[in-house]
A and B are shown apart, each in its own frame.
Chain A
Amino acid sequence: MNTTEMPVQSAQTLIKSTLAAGVLAAIMLTTVILPAEYNIDPTGIGSALGLTELNSQEQEIAVPEAVQRGEQSFAYRTDTTTIEVPAGRGIEYKFQLDKYGHLEYEWVTESGELYFDFHGEPAGDTTGYFESFAIATANKMSGSLTTPFDGSHGWYWKNNGQESVKITLKTKGFYEVIGLKQ
């Protein structure tokens, strides 16, 4: 093969090089790469260097100033509630939000799927108008909503099964809880 003289290193150099490569890789992995990439920090050095911030699961989402939400009458809050939907029944759970209000949500059923209609009703409307954001049958849902109008927003869940279904709903945002509407 046309190569320049490839030196064959002594066994001692080989062992030294291999060990050095291994040790360097182990140090870099445990102190820098794994903390930064996966938030795995066996030595604590990663978090001391601020690297675990890069992939931390619990990142608070601050609302940037650039988002023009206007004046919001509700403060930012976080809630977790459990809602039970009896077998064969439908229930509605709502939140009051201003126009351009923000709601981050995540719900999951204990078992089984539910038909739902995620929608909003404008405040002061008497015609029964509502806007559906999502209609599906699922056992969980997560996402966020920036409201198109001032009014009540939330879910209608319908349990078509034989047993009652419990939902755990987590929310964050600028709202006031209206709660169950029959």
Chain B
Amino acid sequence: MHNSLKMVFALMALIAGMVISMPLFAHGVDDATKTFLAGNEGVSIIPFLYIGAKHMVTGYDHLLFLVGVIFFLYRSKDVLIYVSFFTLGHSLTLLFGVLNDTHVNAYLIDAIIGLSIVYKGFDNLGGFKRVFGFKPNTKAAVLIFGLFHGFGLATKLQEFKLSSDGLVENILAFNVGVEIGQFVALLFILLAINYWRRFDSFLRFSTMTNTLLMSGGLMLVGYQMTGYFVS
């Protein structure tokens, strides 16, 4: 009991530390990156890889969704499957979006990402099974989330009027970077959750954790929708 409680506090401190040290924009792009993107000409694989990976590792909305997905999932095989579904979804829309010059409102996309967190929190409480008698397919949900996320990325990348010289290569590199970032983030979240899973407190706090997850998602929805109406 005593140990598990300590564990919970340690984990909470860790998560709080991670969240606080992150830049305060969920899916924004920082100033140095902006300068680079605006001035870049031609193929630059490694920088785009890095920007993609950094975007994923520092996006707290995305990390929250991953916590939700991984919460009741522990085999590395499953994790790989989920990553692949997300990758498929977001690669499609990112490439399509940038190459076709499609613009989607970033606030709406980020609000949908918030909703996906609410969905996963509710799902982890067994909400869909209880209320509707069935559980939506998480793989499909991850795929759909990936599709939306890709559109969001496409819109943000286009704000920089990327040079058409080497565009496809750069977008592909960015895409791979997003995958790497997602994998790294998953690894840490998986380690933390799998460790926590060994203690009684995991199940005891699972209701509270998922309630907090839902609440966090709702905050993101409110934040982004307000932004949509204000701007």
Residues of A within 8 A of B (CB): 1-11, 13-14, 17-18, 20-22, 24-26, 28-29, 33-34, 37-38, 40
Q: How many A-B residue pairs have CB under 8 A?
A: 88
* A-chain residues with CB within 8 Å of residue B222 when the two chains form the complex: 25-26, 29, 33-34
Whether B226 contacts A14 by the Cβ 8 Å rule is no
Flag whether B218 is at the interface (Cβ < 8 A). Answer: yes
Whether B197 contacts A6 by the Cβ 8 Å rule is no
7 contacts between A and B (CB under 8 A): A3-B78, A4-B72, A9-B207, A14-B125, A21-B121, A22-B218, A37-B227
Known: A34-B226, A37-B223, A38-B226. A17 touches B125 (CB 8 A): yes
Whether B124 contacts A6 by the Cβ 8 Å rule is yes
- List 20 additional A-B contacts (Cβ < 8 Å) besides A1-B138, A21-B118: A2-B73, A3-B72, A8-B126, A10-B130, A11-B131, A14-B126, A18-B127, A18-B211, A20-B211, A21-B121, A21-B211, A21-B218, A22-B218, A24-B215, A26-B222, A29-B222, A34-B223, A37-B226, A38-B230, A40-B230
Whether B131 contacts A8 by the Cβ 8 Å rule is no
Cα(A2)–Cα(B75), bound, Å: 7
* B-chain residues with CB within 8 Å of residue A13 when the two chains form the complex: 125, 207
* B-chain residues with CB within 8 Å of residue A11 when the two chains form the complex: 130-131
Main secondary structure of the interface of B (DSSP, over half): helix
Which residue in A1, A5, A9, A28 is a CB contact (below 8 Å) of B125? A9
Q: Which residues of chain B from 10 to 29 have a CB within 8 Å of any chain A CB? A: none
Whether A14 contacts B75 by the Cβ 8 Å rule is no
Flag whether B210 is at the interface (Cβ < 8 A). Answer: yes
Q: How many residues of B contact A (CB 8 A)?
A: 34
Which residue in B122, B206, B216, B219 is a CB contact (below 8 Å) of A7? B206
* A-chain residues with CB within 8 Å of residue B122 when the two chains form the complex: 18
Q: Which residues of chain B from 199 to 222 have a CB within 8 Å of any chain A CB? A: 203, 206-207, 210-212, 214-216, 218-219, 222
Name which residue of chain A comes closest to B221, CB basis.
A25
Residues of B within 8 A of A (CB): 72-75, 77-78, 118, 121-122, 124-127, 129-131, 138, 197, 203, 206-207, 210-212, 214-216, 218-219, 222-223, 226-227, 230
Cα(A84)–Cα(B123), bound, Å: 65
Whether B227 contacts A38 by the Cβ 8 Å rule is yes
Whether A29 contacts B223 by the Cβ 8 Å rule is yes
Which residue in A6, A22, A34, A37 is a CB contact (below 8 Å) of B126? A6
Whether B127 contacts A14 by the Cβ 8 Å rule is yes
* B-chain residues with CB within 8 Å of residue A4 when the two chains form the complex: 72-74, 197
Name which residue of chain A comes closest to B123, CB basis.
A6
* A-chain residues with CB within 8 Å of residue B124 when the two chains form the complex: 6
Known: A2-B75, A33-B222, A40-B226. A9 touches B215 (CB 8 A): no
Which residue in A2, A22, A26, A38 is a CB contact (below 8 Å) of B77? A2
Whether B211 contacts A17 by the Cβ 8 Å rule is yes
Which residue in A2, A5, A8 is a CB contact (below 8 Å) of B130? A8
CB distance from B111 to the nearest CB of A (A): 13
Cα(A3)–Cα(B211), bound, Å: 19
Cα(A4)–Cα(B74), bound, Å: 8
Cα(A9)–Cα(B129), bound, Å: 9
CB distance from A17 to the nearest CB of B (A): 4
* B-chain residues with CB within 8 Å of residue A9 when the two chains form the complex: 125-127, 130, 207
Whether A7 contacts B203 by the Cβ 8 Å rule is yes
Whether B130 contacts A21 by the Cβ 8 Å rule is no
